[in-house]
Amino acid sequence: MREDWVRDLFIEHGDLFQVLLEERFARAEGEARGLSGLFQAHGIGPGATVLDLSCGVGRHAIHLARLGCRVVGVDLSPRFIARARELAVQHAVQDRTEFLVLDEREVERLAPRRFDAVISMFTSLGYYDEETDASILRQCRALTRRGGIFVLDTSFREGVVRHFAPSGAARVGDLLLVEERTLNLETSRMENVWTFFGRTADGYRFRAEIPFRLRIYGLHELIALFTSAGWKYRAAYRDFELREASFESARLLVVAENPEGGEAQADRASTRDHG
């Protein structure tokens, strides 16, 4: 499988994936309200500064801004970021949002900014390997104030196994998406192939076939991953109603807290570098 599938899906064929993102824009309003409630449950009040990793077209960032947050969204796709900026203007939140082309693996470049919360939605962690995921979490912790939180919305391995389906298809706008799925139990990776077809006057025409590989985690692995990056695990939920995680859901919301401020982390890193 190609190692640069991330660029294939989000940049080379970003026009196709963008259709999926925009189809989910309306439902993100409810998810943003759920995030706001989750923030409050974990001590993050109204008007929070939020970092949205792999923000796509800004669907969560824009709705959070409408609820009073100030949001910086980053994504490696110039196409997605351009669209996010357009949507921010359409929804009159351009003064409360900022969208930047930035790979999440280099999010430390946002320093010295500090955030009250970081969100990673729609299984946007797990594209690479465990070491890279841990590095992303460490970089985010350095950008988060003391007591700030990270909210990870991701596929839940136990739920995926319980409800595993080897194939599926969906119509989204003028696209037909056919998905073939393989779950590698030895590596805990979904090794999938997405095939896109575009609607024509007499049916559908092939557009692209994109294989991709995604690491899916169990809860205990995510707790270990966050802990290794210096975060303190707080809770895991199955949905935005903050119901306890269970095997019935293939989705997981994990909340971790930064036990110390980014300034202290930066100072300690500087001491190590020059000591």
> Left, alpha or beta for 52 (phi > 0: left; psi -120 to 50: alpha)?
beta
Q: Residue 14 is which amino acid?
A: G
The confidence band for 273, taking pLDDT boundaries of 50, 70 and 90, is very low
The share of the chain scoring above pLDDT 70, in percent, equals: 93
Higher pLDDT, 266 or 216: 216
Range of the domain at 18: 5-157+216-274
**Total number of domains constituting the chain:** 2
CB atoms within 10 A of CB 7: 14
Distance CA 250, CA 256 (A): 20
Q: Are residues 43 and 116 in the same domain?
A: yes
CATH number at residue 255: 3.40.50.150
pLDDT of residue 2: 56
Q: Are residues 21 and 139 in the same domain?
A: yes
Q: Are residues 77 and 185 in the same domain?
A: no
pLDDT of residue 42: 97
Final residue in a domain of this structure, among 172, 187, 214: 214
CATH number at residue 201: 2.20.25
Q: Are residues 72 and 187 in the same domain?
A: no
Burial of residue 183 (CB within 10 Å: 0-12, 13-18, 19+) is middle
Final residue in a domain of this structure, among 214, 230, 260: 214
> How far is residue 226 from each of residues 56, 63, 155, 231, measured CA to CA in Å?
23, 27, 16, 5
* Cβ–Cβ under 8 Å, residues 163 and 250: yes
pLDDT of residue 260: 87
The confidence band for 92, taking pLDDT boundaries of 50, 70 and 90, is very high
Q: Are residues 203 and 263 in the same domain?
A: no
Query: Is residue 102 pLDDT above 90, yes or no?
Result: yes
Q: Are residues 20 and 52 in the same domain?
A: yes
Query: Is residue 175 pLDDT above 80, yes or no?
Result: yes
Q: Are residues 64 and 102 in the same domain?
A: yes
Q: Are residues 223 and 196 in the same domain?
A: no
- Among residues 191, 167, 164, 170, the alpha carbon closest in space to that of 179 is found at 167
Q: Are residues 93 and 177 in the same domain?
A: no
Q: Are residues 208 and 242 in the same domain?
A: no
Query: Is residue 261 pLDDT above 70, yes or no?
Result: no
Q: Are residues 99 and 54 in the same domain?
A: yes
* Cβ–Cβ under 8 Å, residues 133 and 124: no
pLDDT of residue 112: 97
* Cβ–Cβ under 8 Å, residues 60 and 29: no
- Among residues 273, 4, 252, 34, the alpha carbon closest in space to that of 128 is found at 4
Higher pLDDT, 265 or 132: 132
The confidence band for 165, taking pLDDT boundaries of 50, 70 and 90, is very high
Query: Is residue 48 pLDDT above 80, yes or no?
Result: yes
CB atoms within 10 A of CB 177: 18
The mean predicted confidence, pLDDT, of the chain is 93
pLDDT of residue 183: 95
Q: Are residues 165 and 61 in the same domain?
A: no
